[in-house]
């Protein structure tokens, strides 16, 4: 195993009870660090000692990051070792190359822990839903941000304090900007696109917004309208009748109706909807991050792999069919959904009329509008719209920004309308 941090220690703990599998060596950076667990084998600071060991058949990578993990995994595959990894960044950025390399070398890459922590989402899509043409995978895919948003709403905790707590609990990435700015979800969406639609998506072509701008006031306001704010990621066929066509892949905060199952996904849990033409829609909810849930996925992969080692040419059975080219993505502006807007404006005559005219000019219909006077600071206008094209909302907001009455666009968030994202 390479890495003995949050997840690695969980793997050691879980393998203590496993009679058929044993760790032979664990590589770390700092041999002197206290690990808080009884070590089952020798620690080494040299990863090549693992990769070049002819007795080792499975390499578990739980160190994270792009490099040197990429070089380590390439070399392990070239030495014909099977790989279990929790590293979504690595797979999202180098999946096409790594899966092709594994195929050429007759080995398998297992990656259950890379998406949705302890929820068996990868094996469900890959094996359990194999008979389906999958049109959409939509969900809450980051435990840290869901934990932060839940704490802000339920406990009135500040964003910074909730983030610090998530880091302490071991949910957050080594660099937590990966969580709060949506990169982590973008990596997971790339992997889910490969599984559900047959191609990885370059992370940089995924439309992405994080949760930094979501305030306690927005959360409370959303609640008044019957919504809860969630960071939602999705990978959908842009045209549901055209498998192999462009994908609409995006992550951003959304107002989810309180009646929808995703609104009930709280704390560090994840919740995912998968739509298949035969099954309809399934929802999976469970722990999306943290030591033991993630170790559950890693050790599950290792047990599956180990139980197949004696079979001839088994690797291809476990590998999803993934095209080595990157998926094409739809224009982000073509996405359609209702919006929540929080505008700060001067309290002068005609403001609401002007807002209505600008929205009308951009084919945007207002569903509700509330104005509240704010002492010494004009007024706060909260608007919910009907479903609109993202591109129309962007041009309407650009026009609003030219007007003297607009003090600030405090927030603009999309509203989750499941029926607007095509049905199976």
Residues that bind ligand HSE (CB under 6 A): 117, 142-144, 171-173, 179, 184, 288-289
State which of residues 95, 96, 139, 170 lies at the interface with ligand NAP (CB under 6 A).
170
Gap between the Cα atoms of 293 and 122, Å rounded: 14
Interaction of residue 48 with ligand NAP, rule CB under 6 A: no
Coil vs helix vs strand at 274 = strand
Gap between the Cα atoms of 203 and 206, Å rounded: 5
* Partner from ligand NAP, ligand HSE, none contacting 144, C-beta within 5 to 8 A by type: ligand HSE
Q: Please provide the DSSP assignment of 318-354 as one string.
A: HS----SSPPPB--GGG-EE-EEEEEEE---TTHHHH
**Residue 353 Cβ vs ligand HSE, minimum distance, rounded to whole Å:** 45
Catalytic residue IDs? 188
Question: Parallel, antiparallel, or unpaired: how do β-strands 269-276 and 134-140 relate?
Answer: antiparallel
Copy the structure tokens of residue 201.
């998506």
Interface stretch with ligand NAP, choices 6-14, 119-127, 205-213, 327-335 (CB under 6 A): 6-14
Interaction of residue 118 with ligand NAP, rule CB under 6 A: no
State which of residues 14, 107, 173, 186 lies at the interface with ligand NAP (CB under 6 A).
173
* Partner from ligand NAP, ligand HSE, none contacting 179, C-beta within 5 to 8 A by type: ligand HSE
**Residue 175 Cβ vs ligand NAP, minimum distance, rounded to whole Å:** 10
Per the listing, tokens 């959908």 go with 236
State which of residues 132, 294, 329, 392 lies at the interface with ligand NAP (CB under 6 A).
294
State which of residues 1, 7, 330, 393 lies at the interface with ligand NAP (CB under 6 A).
7
Interaction of residue 33 with ligand NAP, rule CB under 6 A: yes
* Partner from ligand NAP, ligand HSE, none contacting 33, C-beta within 5 to 8 A by type: ligand NAP
Contacts 24+ apart (CB under 8 A), 314-317: 314/108, 315/82, 315/102, 315/103, 315/106, 315/107, 315/108, 316/103
- Closest CB to ligand HSE among 76 and 116? 116
User: CA of 147: how far to CAs of 170, 179, 400, in Å?
Assistant: 12, 11, 34
Q: Where are the alpha helices (DSSP H) in 251-321?
A: 291-308, 315-318
Gap between the Cα atoms of 149 and 158, Å rounded: 10
Interface residues toward ligand NAP, by CB under 6 A: 2-8, 27-30, 33, 47, 62-64, 68, 86-88, 113, 117, 170-171, 173-174, 289-290, 294
């Amino acid at each position: 195993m390479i890495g003995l941090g949050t997840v690695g220690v969980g793997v050691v703990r879980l393998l203590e009870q496993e009679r058929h599998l044993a760790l032979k060596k664990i590589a770390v950076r700092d041999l002197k660090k206290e690990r808080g667990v009884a070590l089952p084998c020798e620690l080494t600071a040299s990863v090549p000692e693992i990769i070049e060991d002819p007795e080792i058949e499975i390499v578990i990578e739980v160190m994270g990051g792009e490099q040197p993990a990429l070089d380590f995994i390439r070399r392990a595959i070239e030495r014909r070792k099977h790989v279990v990894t929790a590293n979504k960044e690595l797979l999202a950025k180098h999946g096409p190359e790594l899966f092709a390399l594994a195929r050429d070398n007759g080995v398998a890459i297992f990656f259950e822990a890379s998406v949705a922590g302890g929820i068996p989402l990868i094996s469900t899509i890959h094996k359990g839903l194999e008979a389906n043409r999958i049109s959409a995978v939509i969900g809450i895919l980051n435990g840290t941000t869901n934990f932060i948003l839940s704490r802000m709403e339920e406990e009135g905790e500040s964003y910074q304090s909730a983030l610090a707590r998530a880091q302490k609990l071991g949910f957050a990435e080594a660099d937590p900007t990966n969580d709060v700015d949506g990169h982590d979800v973008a990596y997971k969406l790339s992997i889910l696109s490969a599984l559900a639609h047959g191609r990885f998506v370059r992370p940089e072509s995924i439309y992405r917004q994080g949760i930094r701008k979501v305030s306690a006031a927005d959360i409370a306001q959303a609640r008044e309208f019957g919504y809860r704010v969630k960071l939602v990621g999705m990978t959908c066929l842009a045209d549901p009748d055209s498998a192999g066509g462009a994908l609409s892949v995006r992550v951003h905060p959304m107002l989810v109706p309180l009646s929808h199952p995703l609104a009930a996904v709280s704390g560090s849990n994840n919740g995912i909807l998968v739509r298949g033409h035969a099954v309809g829609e399934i929802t999976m909810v469970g722990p999306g991050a943290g030591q033991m849930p993630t170790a559950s996925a890693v050790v599950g992969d290792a047990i599956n792999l180990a139980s197949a080692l004696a079979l001839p040419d088994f690797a291809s059975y476990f590998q999803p069919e993934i095209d080595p080219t990157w998926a094409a993505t739809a224009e982000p502006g073509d996405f359609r959904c209702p919006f929540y807007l929080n505008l700060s404006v001067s309290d002068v005559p005609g403001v609401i009329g002007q807002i209505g005219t600008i929205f009308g000019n951009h084919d945007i219909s207002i569903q509700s509008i509330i104005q509240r006077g704010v002492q010494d600071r004009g007024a706060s206008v909260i608007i919910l719209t009907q479903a609109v094209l993202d591109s129309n909302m962007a041009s309407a907001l650009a026009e609003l920004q030219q007007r003297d009455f607009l003090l600030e666009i405090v927030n603009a968030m999309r509203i989750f309308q499941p029926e607007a994202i095509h049905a199976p």
